[in-house]
Chains A and B, each alone.
Chain A
Amino acid sequence: MWRRLQVKVGLGFCGSDLETHMEAMRKKAMDALPGSSWTPLEINPNLPPERADIVIVGGGVVGWSIYSQASTVLSGGGIRQQFSLPENIHLSLASADFLRNINEHLGVLNEDPIDLQFNQSGYLFLASEAVAHIMEENYSTQRYAGAKVSLLSPTQLKEKFPWVNTEGVVLASYGLENEGWFDPWSLLNAFKRKAISMGAIQCCGEVTGSLQLKVKSLYFSFFPTSDDGMSACVEQVQMPNSLEYQPVECAIVVNAAGAFSGKLTEMLGIGFGPKQSIAGIPLPFLNLNYAAEPDVSNLEVDHSFFQENVWPHLAFRVPAFEKLKVTSAWAGFYDYNTFDQNAIIGTHPLINNMYFATGFSGHGLQHSPAVGRAVAELILDGNYKTLDLSGFSFNRILTQEPKLETNIV
Chain B
Amino acid sequence: MLLRWRSQAKRSQLQKKNVYYSYTESFYGPDIASAYYILSLKGGFRYVGQSEWFRANQRGKFSWDFLNHKNTPIEEADMSYTIINYTGLENLERQRSLRTLKLKGCPEVDDWFLARLHLFQDSLEELDISHCPRITTGGLAALRNLKGLKHLNVSSLPGISNPGLVIILLEEMLPQCQITANGYDHNLRKVEEEEEEQMQRQR
Query: Which residues from chain A sit less than 8 Å from chain B, CB to CB?
Result: 100, 104, 109-110, 117-121, 148, 159-160, 176-178, 180, 182
Please, how many angstroms separate the alpha-carbon atoms of A229 and B74 in the complex? 66
Q: How far is the CB of B194 from chain A (nearest CB, A)?
A: 25
Interface CB pairs A-B, < 8 A, 8? A109-B4, A109-B7, A117-B138, A120-B142, A121-B142, A121-B144, A160-B144, A180-B115
| Chain B 101-116: CB-based contact to A (< 8 A → 1; otherwise 0) | 0000000000110111
Q: Judge whether A100 and B136 touch: CB under 8 Å.
A: no
Chain B contacts with A in 119-140, Cβ cutoff 8 A: 136-139
Please, how many angstroms separate the alpha-carbon atoms of A177 and B117 in the complex? 9
Please, how many angstroms separate the alpha-carbon atoms of A177 and B147 in the complex? 15
Please, how many angstroms separate the alpha-carbon atoms of A178 and B3 in the complex? 31
| Residues of the A chain whose Cβ atoms lie less than 8 Å from the Cβ of B139 | 120
| Residues of the A chain whose Cβ atoms lie less than 8 Å from the Cβ of B147 | 159-160
Q: Judge whether A104 and B11 touch: CB under 8 Å.
A: yes
| Residues of the A chain whose Cβ atoms lie less than 8 Å from the Cβ of B116 | 177
Chain B contacts with A in 1-31, Cβ cutoff 8 A: 3-4, 7, 11
Q: Judge whether A178 and B115 touch: CB under 8 Å.
A: yes
B62 interface hit (Cβ, 8 Å): no
Question: Given known contacts A121-B142, A121-B144, is B3 in contact with A177 (CB within 8 Å)?
Answer: no
Most chain A Cβ neighbours within 10 Å, of B112, B114, B139 = B112
Interface of A is mostly: loop
| Residues of the A chain whose Cβ atoms lie less than 8 Å from the Cβ of B11 | 104
| Residues of the A chain whose Cβ atoms lie less than 8 Å from the Cβ of B136 | 117
Q: Judge whether B145 and A119 touch: CB under 8 Å.
A: no
Please, how many angstroms separate the alpha-carbon atoms of A120 and B144 in the complex? 10
Q: Judge whether B86 and A120 touch: CB under 8 Å.
A: no
Q: How far is the CB of A148 from chain B (nearest CB, A)?
A: 7
Q: Tell me how many residues of B have a C-beta within 8 Å of chain A.
A: 20
Q: Judge whether B144 and A100 touch: CB under 8 Å.
A: no
Q: Judge whether A120 and B138 touch: CB under 8 Å.
A: yes
Query: Which of chain B's residues has its CB closest to A177's CB?
Result: B115
B56 interface hit (Cβ, 8 Å): no
Please, how many angstroms separate the alpha-carbon atoms of A299 and B101 in the complex? 51
Could you list 18 further interchain pairs (A-B, Cβ under 8 angstroms) beyond the known A120-B115, A160-B147?
A110-B3, A118-B112, A119-B141, A120-B114, A120-B138, A120-B142, A121-B141, A121-B144, A148-B118, A176-B145, A177-B116, A177-B118, A177-B142, A178-B115, A180-B115, A180-B138, A180-B141, A182-B138
| Chain B 75-100: CB-based contact to A (< 8 A → 1; otherwise 0) | 00000000000100000000000000
Please, how many angstroms separate the alpha-carbon atoms of A148 and B111 in the complex? 16
Q: How far is the CB of B143 from chain A (nearest CB, A)?
A: 9
The 9 A-B residue pairs with the shortest CB-CB distance, nearest first, are A120-B142, A119-B138, A120-B115, A176-B118, A100-B112, A121-B141, A177-B115, A118-B138, A120-B111
Please, how many angstroms separate the alpha-carbon atoms of A176 and B146 in the complex? 11
Q: How far is the CB of A233 from chain B (nearest CB, A)?
A: 37
Query: Which of chain A's residues has its CB closest to B139's CB?
Result: A120
Please, how many angstroms separate the alpha-carbon atoms of A180 and B145 in the complex? 14
| Residues of the A chain whose Cβ atoms lie less than 8 Å from the Cβ of B137 | 119
Query: Which of chain B's residues has its CB closest to A99's CB?
Result: B112
| Residues of the A chain whose Cβ atoms lie less than 8 Å from the Cβ of B138 | 117-120, 180, 182
| Residues of the B chain whose Cβ atoms lie less than 8 Å from the Cβ of A104 | 11
Please, how many angstroms separate the alpha-carbon atoms of A148 and B65 in the complex? 36
Query: Which of chain A's residues has its CB closest to B144's CB?
Result: A121
Q: How far is the CB of B90 from chain A (nearest CB, A)?
A: 13
Question: Given known contacts A109-B3, A118-B111, A120-B115, is B86 in contact with A100 (CB within 8 Å)?
Answer: yes
| Residues of the A chain whose Cβ atoms lie less than 8 Å from the Cβ of B112 | 100, 118, 120
Most chain A Cβ neighbours within 10 Å, of B86, B138, B141 = B138
Please, how many angstroms separate the alpha-carbon atoms of A309 and B136 in the complex? 36
Please, how many angstroms separate the alpha-carbon atoms of A112 and B115 in the complex? 24
| Residues of the B chain whose Cβ atoms lie less than 8 Å from the Cβ of A148 | 118
Please, how many angstroms separate the alpha-carbon atoms of A215 and B29 in the complex? 62
Q: How far is the CB of A107 from chain B (nearest CB, A)?
A: 8
